[in-house]
Amino acid sequence: MSTFLFHDLIYGPIKSRRLGNSLGINLLPTDKKYCNFNCVYCECGANVPGGKINLPRRAEIAAALSEKLKQLHSQGIAVDSITFAGNGEPTIHPDFEGVMQDTVNERNKYFPEAVISVLSNATRISKPEVVEALMLIDNRILKLDSAIESTAKAIDRPVGEYSVARIVDLLKGFNGDFTLQTMFLEGDVNGVHINNMTEQEVSAWLDVVKTTRPKKVMIYTIDRDTPEQNLRKATHEELDSIRDRVKAAGFEVSVSY
């Protein structure tokens, strides 16, 4: 299937399934994906090794955001969320903390009611400066696609070391002040069958929810083209069943079908 990249530093606002009218910011290259995951479902496709990595500078990001917010404000266009996602893992940017500080300042000038959201794979929350940056904003949306290590690695295909137990331990450090995000799917990739919706998978995942106690849980499934073709999106019934179990455990949960 074909996939797509975000070719601009700032894009939108677009209507997000989870975040409303969302103004996107891409801190990563505009010509390739740059991530420490190579997820089977990533809408940006696969990592491309080699070549020069060009990242936008902090001052450039702040100036572009200020101009865009000023423009949207003058046009009366609503912004519900300023969202960092883009072509990979946003916390990789070397000035991530400074960018968060600048974004808070610019948001407060033009859209003080808007939230600032970061969609992250949670691999870099072992770094104090990344945690400090995330605590400056409103929505820390941190991903865990399976509580079972072999499944998580099969879905996310991390580059370098990755430990579910380590991620779970680090998530506890947020004391519930984060959103847990999980993609549910089934498929066959390179001869391996993947399904994070089995009873074993969902029970283990629910144990993580109960242990880390996020303020909100976001569950979703495939919505766009994926780099791997033999994947099936979760059905409404499958997602509703998982949603009901999360609610029964006492947690707020949203579903994107």
Q: What is the CATH number of the domain that holds 178?
A: 3.20.20.70
pLDDT tens for each residue of the chain, 257 residues long: 456 788 899 999 988 877 889 999 999 999 899 999 999 999 998 887 777 888 999 999 999 999 999 999 999 999 999 999 989 999 999 999 999 999 999 999 999 999 999 999 999 999 999 999 999 999 999 999 999 999 999 999 999 899 999 999 999 999 999 999 999 999 999 999 999 999 999 999 999 999 999 999 999 999 888 999 899 999 999 999 999 999 999 999 999 99
Q: Counting Cβ atoms within 10 Å, is residue 187 exposed (0-12), middle (13-18) or buried (19+)? A: buried
| 110 within domain boundaries | yes
Domain that holds residue 186: 10-256
| 4 within domain boundaries | no
pLDDT at residue number 3: 67
The count of structural domains within the chain is 1
CA distance 35 to 46: 9
| 1 within domain boundaries | no
DSSP class of 257: -
pLDDT at residue number 106: 97
| 2 within domain boundaries | no
| Torsion angles phi and psi, residue 120, rounded to 5 | -130, 150
**Cα 86 from chain centroid (whole Å):** 9
pLDDT at residue number 1: 47
| 116 within domain boundaries | yes
